[in-house]
Structure 1
Amino acid sequence: MNIPQLFYFDLRGFGEYIRLLFRDNKIEFEDIRLDHEPKDNRLDRGLEWQELKKSMIFGQMPCLKYDGKEYVLTGAIMRHLARVHGLNGSNEDEATFLDMFFEGVRDTRKEYVRFIYYDSPKREEMLDSILPRDLADFEKLMKVHPGDFIIGDKPNYADYILFEELDVYTHLDATILDKYPSMKAFWELMWQRPNLKAYLEKRKADRVWINAIEKGLD
């Protein structure tokens, strides 16, 4: 099997969940980051984005390529990797629970994206209503299965989207997790994962953008 190539922009965005899964599980991959602010209308590796997207399914990234195959759409890529690498729970009930958690977190991300790019909802609504509501739901779900992670004592694929989103929301408010002890403990635990710690610290030091605009980084 050749080394998987992950195509995404040089920011965190939707590609970061996949990067975290690869790094935490020591799965070798090529992290191809395209400039989200094209200079002279050209992108990394000498490719114009408008030309590159024509060659990709649905014209979308993240895009994962290996073994002559191409996979797109974040959820599809994450679930594919979960099945291939044993990160999808141990039975159908657990797999479905992980899917529910994943989709719930992604719904919250949609609200965040609307806030960042369209300023609707407003910051106050995100911090005072939407995030407290959703974090309370995640806090309850986190207690359904014993262990430090969504299910048991090892991460599965949905743990990576949950961690990344929690980390994103701490940039809006550094104390946002204080009222949700399970969420905060999980977030802190993931930060200390041996295969993630150096990467996360470098990402923070380099101030890698979360979004295609700087809003929400601090």
Structure 2
Amino acid sequence: MPPYTIVYFPVRGRCEALRMLLADQGQSWKEEVVTGETWQQGSLKASCLYGQLPKFQDGDFTLYQSNAMLRHLGRSFGLYGKDQREAALVDVVNDGVEDLRCKYVSLIYTNYISFADYNLLDLLLIHEVLAPGCLKAFPLLSAYVARLSARPKLKAFLASPEHVNRPINGNGKQ
């Protein structure tokens, strides 16, 4: 039975660096995969420190907070520098990585939109009118137009007579 257990959702998320470290160090571990349904039931969440996963077990020692887990294993496997100064430098690098991770998390989990998105959407929709199908060769742009155009209030506006019947240009060319 492996001494390590990772309790987490079925994603890479906050545990993949931990898994990579264990794999690279030749360690085996057990995964306890938590489904969204199980998490929503609340009993596991209530038992977790800060009400969060991941949860990591090293034998009878339980840790929460992914960076604490990495530091623990870093010390255990001699991956935390040769002295306190090197350990402090490793912390600096890891904290920088954490800053970047927070920006990534904000990017993928935040539903935000800027005024520039409306400007770009307008231009791309005009291109579609002037050259129907012109975005087909650009799947990311096509997906972008579809995603923004599907926002409920914007979708209603784009389908409204005020928008549909308004000329694109003042010179009559379309």
Q: TM-score, normalised by structure 1?
A: 0.48
Q: Distance in 1 between matches of 2:113 and 2:107?
A: 5
Tell me the secondary structure at the aligned position of residue 14 of structure 1: helix
CA separation of 1:2/1:29 partners in 2, compared to 1, >3 Å: closer, same or farther?
A: closer
Structure with greater helix percent: 2
Q: Cα RMSD between the aligned structures?
A: 2.3
Shift of 1:55: 1.6
Does the 8 Å CA contact 1:63/1:71 hold for their aligned counterparts? yes
CA spacing shift, 1:92–1:42, aligned 2, 3 Å: closer
Query: Structure 1 residue 31: deviation in Å?
Result: 2.0
Structure 1 CA distance for aligned equivalents of residues 46 and 29 of structure 2: 23
Assess if the C-alpha contact under 8 Å between 2:81 and 2:90 holds in 1: yes
Total equivalences in the alignment: 115
Percent of matched pairs sharing the same residue: 30
Q: After TM superposition, give the deviation of residue 70 of structure 1 in Å.
A: 1.1
1-side partners of 2:62 and 2:9: how far apart? Answer: 17
**Distance in 2 between residues matched to 1:100 and 1:121, nearest whole Å:** 32
Shift of 1:3: 1.4
Identify which of structures 1 and 2 has the higher relative contact order when contacts are C-alpha pairs closer than 8 Å and 6+ apart. Answer: 1
Q: Pick from 60, 67, 71: which aligns with 2:52?
A: 60
Q: Which runs of 5+ in 2 are unaligned?
A: 117-174
Instruction: Find the structure with the greater CA-based Rg.
Output: 2
CA contact (8 A) 1:115 1:121 kept: no
Q: What does residue range 1-218 of structure 1 map to in structure 2 within 5 Å?
A: 3-35=3-35, 38=36, 41-42=37-38, 50-120=42-112
Contact kept in structure 1, 2:2 and 2:28, CA below 8 Å = no
TM-score, normalization by structure 2:
0.59
Change (3 A) 1:26 1:67: same
